[in-house]
């Protein structure tokens, strides 16, 4: 059971800058909006790669996270440190939605691709604009109770 818990929302003493997380979410919004306006499957494909890097690798930056980091350096804002593990779970949800969107787009089922793309944009907007992590909420109230001993 511990392995399942670690896969879903890994326990981590690591921290991330909340400002960078929120600007990265803005990048997700722009990238998915590009798909919603053009229908080009390249955009959800880029998000699949970006979310995979953030959710499953030890790399410090994904492409969108790196761009957010550069903007934060230009703005000169100080970091606001928050736990990394809930954001990793949220990135895994973003990966799932991006894969679903990409799959529907590549198979020509554009209505469902747009629906899942819009859901991802709403989740990213909640993170970026309102500082509400939907992935964290889903984990806390829907997933965690299933695996808690």
Region at 39 (left for phi over 0; alpha for psi -120 to 50; beta for the rest): left
Q: Indicate whether this model's pTM tops 0.85.
A: yes
For the stretch 46-91, pLDDT in tens is 999 999 999 999 888 899 999 999 999 999 999 999 888 888 889 9
pLDDT at 77: 92
> Scanning the structure block, which residue is given the tokens 């691709």?
113
**Nearest by Cα to 12 from 89, 122, 108, 92:** 89
Q: Is the pLDDT of residue 10 over 60?
A: no
Pairwise CA distance, residues 141 & 47, whole Å = 26
C-alpha–C-alpha distance, residues 39 and 36, integer Å: 6
SS3 string, the chain, reads CHHHHHHHCCCCCCEEEHHHHHHHHHHHHHHHHHHHHHCCCHHHHHHHHHHHHHHHCCCCCCHHHHHHHHHHHHHCCCCCEEECHHHHHHHHHHHHHHHHHHHHHHCCCHHHHHHHHHHHHHHHHHHHHHCCCHHHHHHHHHHHHHHCC
- What does R_g of the chain's alpha carbons equal in angstroms? 15
The CA-to-CA distance between both ends of the chain, in Å, stands at 9
Q: How confident is the model at residue 9 (pLDDT cuts 50, 70, 90)?
A: low
Q: 29 or 147, which is more confident?
A: 29
């Amino acid at each position: 059971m511990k392995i399942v818990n670690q896969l879903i929302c890994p326990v981590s003493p690591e921290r991330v800058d909340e400002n960078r997380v929120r600007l990265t979410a803005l990048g997700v919004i722009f990238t998915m909006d590009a798909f919603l306006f053009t229908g080009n499957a390249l955009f959800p494909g880029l998000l699949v790669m970006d979310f995979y890097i953030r959710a499953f690798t030890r790399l410090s930056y994904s492409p969108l996270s790196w761009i957010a980091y550069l903007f934060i350096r230009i703005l000169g804002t100080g970091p606001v440190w928050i736990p990394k593990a809930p954001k990793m779970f949220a990135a895994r949800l973003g990966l799932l939605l991006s894969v679903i969107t990409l799959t529907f787009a590549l198979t020509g089922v554009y209505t469902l691709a747009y629906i899942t793309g819009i859901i991802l944009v709403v989740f990213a907007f909640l993170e970026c604009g309102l500082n509400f992590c939907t992935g964290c909420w889903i984990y806390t109230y829907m997933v965690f109770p299933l695996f808690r001993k």
